A and B are shown apart, each in its own frame.
Chain A
Amino acid sequence: MSQLVPIPAPTAVPARRGVISKVVHDPLGVISLVALLLIVLATVLAAVLAPQDPARSSLDDIFAPISAAHPLGGDSAGRDLLSRLLYGAQVSLLGATIALLASLVIGLPAGLIAGYYGRTFDSVSSWASNLLQALPAIIVLLALRTVFGPSIWTSMVIFGVILAPGAYRLVRATVSGVRNELYIDAALVSGLSDTRIIARHMLRVVRGPLIMHSAMVLAICINIQAGLEFLGFGDPQTASWGSMLNEGFLNIFQAPQMLFWPGLALFLTSAALALVASSLRDALQAGAAKPVRRRSVKAPPAGNGAVPSDALLSVRDLRVAYSGGSVEVVHGVSLDVAHGEVVGLVGESGSGKTQVALSVLDLLPTGGQVTSGAIALAGEPLLGRSASFLRTVRGHRIGYIPQEPLSNLDPSFRIGNQLSEVVRVHLGLSRAAARDRVLDLLARVGIPDPARTYRAFPHEISGGMAQRVLIAGAVSCDPELLIADEPTTALDVTVQADILDLLRDLQQEKGLGVLFVTHDFGVVADICDRVLVMRQGEIVEDGPAEAIFDTPQHDYTRSLLGSMLDGRPARLARVKATGDGRA
């Protein structure tokens, strides 16, 4: 598989410390962690911090204004709001923790078993989890309250059970994903027992996502508990955030400010939990999509390199960089492809060959940009041109054949639809004319039953057929140039030979120029007229194919060709030659 986005050099930071240090280095993560810590501290130290007993009421303090004695004022019974807020936090946090524990006690083991063993347990527990999620939680709580009594703690345990499917699904999905990893197979071959595999391998993987999930669940529980108490289902004597909101609601005409503090406390606690979770998620999936602006930074206007006009494609001094230009992966590459010429761009993974090919199409992955150089098609510059101009070039004058056949077809659209769309856009054909053209194309690329393939969805055809479909798509508007990015690498060798035959025929028939990216010298020898060898973002050798194979000039080319296995004697022949036994 070609490495599209260059991976930064491995660092010496071990994985676990990595996650924690990433959270600690994320300012939002630190702020939210500190906020959480303060909330927990205030809750634990409520007895010390509160100005007075939360239940002590005084007629003088009914709706008392904010004062030194009552920093947040007094409520309808003349009780101190700050004291009630601090003590109320105990009820909120305890209730939420109970619900979280209940959900984990059920969800974690069930998820582990269902994900690891699958089969009947999986079907039954997934069905049960669907049932639990079929009703609005609050309705279940109201209904079961008539059964199990009015205790808020019972309600929170029930709520935990209702939330268990969340943990269950998360664990199950993670575990069943890991279940098929080869390192689990290796552990099985080593004879590790299931318990050990679950403890050593599965729990490690589940841990991070589960902590993240738990933070979110805690926030939900805090809110739902307050909600229950707001509806009047708590103990009205005990101070809690929900009952304070209920009192505020009952006195909304006299003292609307009473609504403010408990709500704010709820909001801040949940927000801190959500931020911790989000910071943890970012740390866990480092490198995943961050809110960065997708900038297709255009290269400076051509002029850094003169563009000769006789070549079909000319690239001059091309530089490609990632991470805002700080990591350069292509260091000044120049190449020409003449009309009707097949040029092989050869290199190992990370050599930058795919980056060069994608630069021509202006389709570098997110974060990549051409920082300088010039690219021209038949003398016409391509870099820095408008998106609408490039759209008339791509697909129409330059065809693109990707590497993985199946992942390059849209799974939701019929094949015929995907191909006729292109010819309709570029050639302005009618629906019927486009259909005829696509059917002809499908026949031309050697698909046995074009009409059936036209109607098929991508998952209904084989990889070899899919690659023929993609080739049909690339040549559908009679382009002058083909960019082929490892077009046979994902295929079986017998299929590869057929596809190479097809490409050669099409190339000769239509006089196409081809930029053929590959790592395989056999494929180069089969189809390329000229070869460019790339290493670490630079072209180290350039010449006619025969010369490269016969008399390679650069050490790197020689070492690459030297490491080829073809041409070396077979093992048995070597054994026979030395008379060496089989060890």
Chain B
Amino acid sequence: MLAFLTKRIGAGLSVLLVVPSLTFLLMFGNAANAARQILGESATPEQVAAKSAELGVNRPLYVQFVDYVGQLFVGDLGRSWFTAEPIGSLLASRATVTLTVVIGSILVSTLLAFALGIAAALRRGALDIALQVLAIVGFAVPGFWLALLLVSNLALQLRLFPATGFVAFTASPGQWLASITLPIVALMVGAVAGVAQQVRGSVIDVLEQDYVRTLRARGLPSWRVVAHVLRNASAPALTVVALTFIGTLSGAVFVERIFALPGLGLAATNAAVNGDVPVIMGVVLVMTTIVVLVNLVVDLAIGLLNPKVRLS
């Protein structure tokens, strides 16, 4: 188990080192005339030079990189080129919003997907056909279109939910729930379909294994057999949950724009429009960390469920 964990942590660290570094080198390597872009065509060369010096983009790339990494260790992610806001505190509050809707959607969709997938695999019939339809619809329907339809119908027409904004849980739990319900639903549909399909597939695979017949031949109660089946089927399903999590982070970018939720995605979208490189860099760093952590948790769960994985 220790060797398995070390290996997974090593893999996670390598991602954490390489992805943000590459992003940094690409983005800041291209930022030489950022000052001109910020100040516009009317600025004098002196103003541009002064701005470049202020932003630090006139220094050699490696100096900027070493400086950035050094600042990271004291928890400083730099400042926005446009608002001069410190990025660390800016992203901290935004990460809360994004994680609330993303984790909420992953939790609800995983529970629902396991229930649906298991039931479809065990019972087959109409439920199974319904799941096949859901799988196609969930895959094909663009998540942001679904979000738009939800806003336009449930929020604007029927006024069941707020159309925009995020209310902190501490401010009002009821409004908090109302403000995240539609975003979570919009993010969920695709995730439920994908994961349920995988759960169904792996449960059916396991059901056809020899040892399941042998367990039945021993006269075990159904729920015990299902427990055996689930433990063996959950590893491939959890792998898909991890991938879905990354997909849901992508989806959050759209959902945050549509519902005007002040999350990481909205920050990234606005920063990309303006060319606010340090903010995007910060988002990349935070998202990579989140993804690596989630993958680690999933790997750990798979290792606990499946002795073969952790021993090989």
The 4 closest A-B pairs by CB, nearest first: A395-B219, A395-B218, A400-B217, A394-B219
In the complex the two chains form, what is the Cα distance from A392 to B253 in whole Å? 55
Closest partner residue, chain A, to B253 (CB atom): A138
Tell whether B41 is near chain A: CB-to-CB under 8 Å.
no
CB of B58 closer than 8 Å to a CB of A: no
CB closest residue in chain B, given A149 = B30
Interface check A366, CB cutoff 8 A: yes
Knowing A231-B257, A363-B217 touch, does A143 contact B280 (C-beta < 8 A)?
yes
Find out whether the CB atom of A457 lies under 8 angstroms from the CB atom of B219: no
| Residues from chain A with Cβ under 8 Å of B3 in the complex | none
Complex interface: chain B residues within 8 A of A470 (CB):
214
Q: List 22 A-B contacts (CB under 8 A).
A: A131-B15, A134-B291, A135-B19, A135-B287, A143-B26, A144-B26, A146-B30, A146-B280, A223-B143, A259-B148, A259-B152, A270-B141, A271-B137, A391-B221, A392-B219, A394-B216, A395-B220, A402-B213, A421-B218, A425-B220, A426-B219, A470-B214
Of all chain B residues, the one with the shortest Cβ separation from A404 is B210
List of B residues within 8 angstroms of A366 by Cβ: 208
Flag B244-287 by CB within 8 Å of A: 1 or 0 each: 00110110011001100000010011011101010011011001
Binding site for A on B (CB under 8 A): 11, 14-15, 18-19, 23, 26-27, 29-30, 122-125, 128-129, 132, 136-137, 139-145, 148-149, 151-152, 156-157, 201, 204, 208-211, 213-222, 224, 228, 231-232, 243, 246-247, 249-250, 253-254, 257-258, 265, 268-269, 271-273, 275, 277, 280-281, 283-284, 287-288, 291-292, 295, 305-308, 311
A227 to B145, CA, bound (A): 9
Looking at the assembled complex, report how far the CB atom of A423 sits from the nearest CB atom of chain B, in whole angstroms.
Answer: 10
A396 to B221, CA, bound (A): 13
Contacts of B221 in A (CB 8 A): 391, 425
Residues of B within 8 A of A289 (CB): 201, 204, 208
SS class of chain A's interface: helix, strand, loop or mixed? helix
Smallest Cβ distance from B252 to chain A, in angstroms? 8
CB distance from A136 to the nearest CB of B (A): 4
- Is B275 within 8 A of A266, CB to CB? no
Give the interface SS of chain B, mostly helix, strand, loop or mixed: helix
A residues neighboring B (CB under 8 Å): 127, 130-131, 133-139, 142-147, 216, 219, 223, 226-227, 230-233, 245, 248-249, 252-253, 256, 259, 263, 266-268, 270-271, 273-275, 278, 289, 291-294, 358, 361, 363, 365-366, 387, 390-396, 398, 400, 402, 404, 407-413, 418, 421-422, 425-426, 457, 459, 470, 473, 483
B248 to chain A: closest residue by CB: A136
Contact, CB under 8 Å: A249 / B140: no
- Report whether B287 and A136 are in contact in the complex, using a CB–CB cutoff of 8 Å: yes
Contact of B18 among A131, A226, A274 (CB under 8 A): A131
> Inside 8 A of B122's CB, which chain A residues have their CB?
294
Output the least CB separation between A522 and chain B (Å). Answer: 25
- Which of B224, B249, B273 interacts with A139 by CB under 8 Å? B249
* Chain B: minimal CB distance from A516 (Å): 16
Known contacts: A134-B15, A142-B269, A147-B26. The answer to whether A393 contacts B211 by CB under 8 A is no
Once bound together, how far apart are the Cα atoms of A395 and B225, in whole Å?
13
Q: Which of B27, B124, B209, B254 contacts A293 (CB 8 A)?
A: B124
Contact A230–B268 (Cβ < 8 Å): no
Query: How long is the Cα–Cα vector from A142 to B123 in the complex, in angstroms?
Result: 44
Q: A134-B291, A137-B250 are in contact. Are A390 and B136 (CB under 8 A)?
A: no
Q: Which of A274, A457, A473 contacts B140 (CB 8 A)?
A: A274
Q: Return the chain B residue nearest A457 by Cβ.
A: B307
**In the complex where A146-B272, A411-B307 touch, is A135 in contact with B142 (Cβ < 8 A)?**
no
Which residue on A lies nearest to B231, using beta carbons? A412
Q: What distance in Å separates the Cβ of B273 from its nearest Cβ neighbour in chain A?
A: 7
Report if A233-B219 is in contact (Cβ < 8 Å); known contacts: A245-B148, A409-B211: no
Contact B218 A135 (CB under 8 A): no
Q: Are B11 and A130 interface neighbours, CB within 8 A?
A: yes
Contacts of A230 in B (CB 8 A): 144, 254
Decide: A363 near B213, CB < 8 A? Known: A143-B27, A266-B145.
yes
**Quick one: closest A residue to B272, CB to CB?**
A142
User: B133 CB to closest chain A CB, in angstroms?
Assistant: 10
> Smallest Cβ distance from A170 to chain B, in angstroms?
14
The answer on a CB contact under 8 Å between B142 and A139 is no
Which residues of chain A are within 8 angstroms of B231 by Cβ–Cβ distance? Answer: 410, 412-413
Closest A residue, CB atoms, query B290: A136
- Give the residues in chain A near B311, CB-CB below 8 Å: 457, 459
Cβ of B163 to closest chain A Cβ, rounded Å: 9
Cβ of A379 to closest chain B Cβ, rounded Å? 20
B254 to chain A, nearest CB (A): 6
State in angstroms the CA–CA spacing of A574 and B248 once bound together: 74
A489 to chain B, nearest CB (A): 13
* One of B14, B210, B272 near A127 (C-beta < 8 A): B14
Interface contact B204-A249, CB-CB below 8 Å: no
Smallest CB separation, B190 vs chain A (Å): 10
A425-B19 Cα distance, complex, nearest whole Å: 52
Given contacts A139-B284, A408-B211, contact A145 B272 (CB under 8 A): yes
Q: Is the CB of B152 within 8 A of A139?
A: no
Q: Are B232 and A410 in contact (CB under 8 A)?
A: yes
**Known pairs A387-B222, A392-B219 / 15 extra A-B pairs, C-beta < 8 Å:** A133-B243, A134-B19, A136-B287, A139-B283, A227-B254, A249-B148, A252-B152, A263-B142, A274-B139, A278-B136, A291-B128, A398-B217, A411-B306, A422-B219, A425-B218
Whether B228 and A473, one on each chain, are in contact in the complex, defined by CB atoms closer than 8 angstroms, is no
Nearest-neighbour CB distance to chain B for A324, whole angstroms, equals 14
B246 to chain A, nearest CB (A): 5
Determine the residue in chain A with the shortest Cβ distance to B283. Answer: A139
Contact in complex: A249, B156 (CB < 8 Å): no
* List of B residues within 8 angstroms of A365 by Cβ: 208
Beyond A274-B139, A404-B210, A425-B220, is A256–B269 a contact (Cβ under 8 Å)? no
Q: Are B15 and A402 in contact (CB under 8 A)?
A: no
Chain A residue contacts of B27, Cβ below 8 A: 143, 146-147
